[in-house]
A and B are shown apart, each in its own frame.
Chain A
Amino acid sequence: SQQGEEDPQALSIQEGENATMNCSYKTSINNLQWYRQNSGRGLVHLILIRSNEREKHSGRLRVTLDTSKKSSSLLITASRAADTASYFCATDDGGNTPLVFGKGTRLSVIA
């Protein structure tokens, strides 16, 4: 089964800096999604980008998708301590098949 692989595994930055996380996957997709997980909590959906889209914005989040390279990136601008969490990409190939998650990037934002 295809799987997103996030890079880096862990990232530590200062408050106010930008954070960039990358995701690579193996086969064709219908869409790619990013989720956030605070410690001890369930995952929360952040943003979905379809295979025919190249870039999408939501507040301080910017997601890009390059289907030729089978990769996506999540940029969080002007990070805050409250952004400290794990971030997961998930691929959806459509056709009623389940999402497949990567192993996540653990982001620490230091105040």
Chain B
Amino acid sequence: NAGVTQTPKFQVLKTGQSMTLQCAQDMNHNSMYWYRQDPGMGLRLIYYSASEGTTDKGEVPNGYNVSRLNKREFSLRLESAAPSQTSVYFCASRPQGTGELFFGEGSRLTVL
């Protein structure tokens, strides 16, 4: 089992470009999450999907969109990247709406 897989691992964008971060889990989990991690800020929730077919905003959703494509996949899209979106992005999942989270290895995004 791969667990939670994120692609790409590294990406450099120019301001205004768009891109999609992909996340897939093979643990049959219902809930999936996107967090961003910035120095000194801990992890902040961007969007989450409590179950297939639902998505909700987290603490810092502006500038992002998400798609829960199916039970396995949860993508995060930046429509027009800004330097403030330079960060490390983590996808996570858990079986249901409570309990431990399983994290991917992160996607490091730099916006110039």
Cβ B103 vs Cβ A101 within 8 A = no
Cβ B103 vs Cβ A103 within 8 A = no
- A-B contacts counted at CB < 8 A amount to 56
Cβ A42 vs Cβ B58 within 8 A = no
Cβ A48 vs Cβ B100 within 8 A = yes
Interface range for B: 20 to 34
Say yes or no for A100: interface residue by CB 8 A criterion: yes
Cβ A96 vs Cβ B98 within 8 A = yes
Instruction: Please provide the chain B residues from 45 to 99 with a CB less than 8 Å away from any CB of chain A in the complex.
Output: 45, 48, 50, 58-59, 90, 92, 96-99
Chain B nearest CB from A77 CB (Å) reads: 22
Cβ B99 vs Cβ A42 within 8 A = no
Cβ B97 vs Cβ A99 within 8 A = no
Which of B41, B97, B99, B106 is the one whose CB lies under 8 Å from A48?
Answer: B99
Residue among B4, B42, B45, B59 with max Cβ neighbours from chain A (10 Å) = B42
Cβ A45 vs Cβ B97 within 8 A = no
Instruction: Please provide the chain A residues from 3 to 40 with a CB less than 8 Å away from any CB of chain B in the complex.
Output: 30-31, 33, 35, 40
Cβ A97 vs Cβ B42 within 8 A = no
Complex CA distance for A90 and B48, rounded to whole angstroms: 16
Cβ A1 vs Cβ B59 within 8 A = yes
Cβ B43 vs Cβ A42 within 8 A = no
Residues of A within 8 A of B (CB): 1, 30-31, 33, 35, 40-45, 48, 88, 90, 92, 94-104
Residues of B within 8 A of A (CB): 4, 31, 33, 35, 40-45, 48, 50, 58-59, 90, 92, 96-106
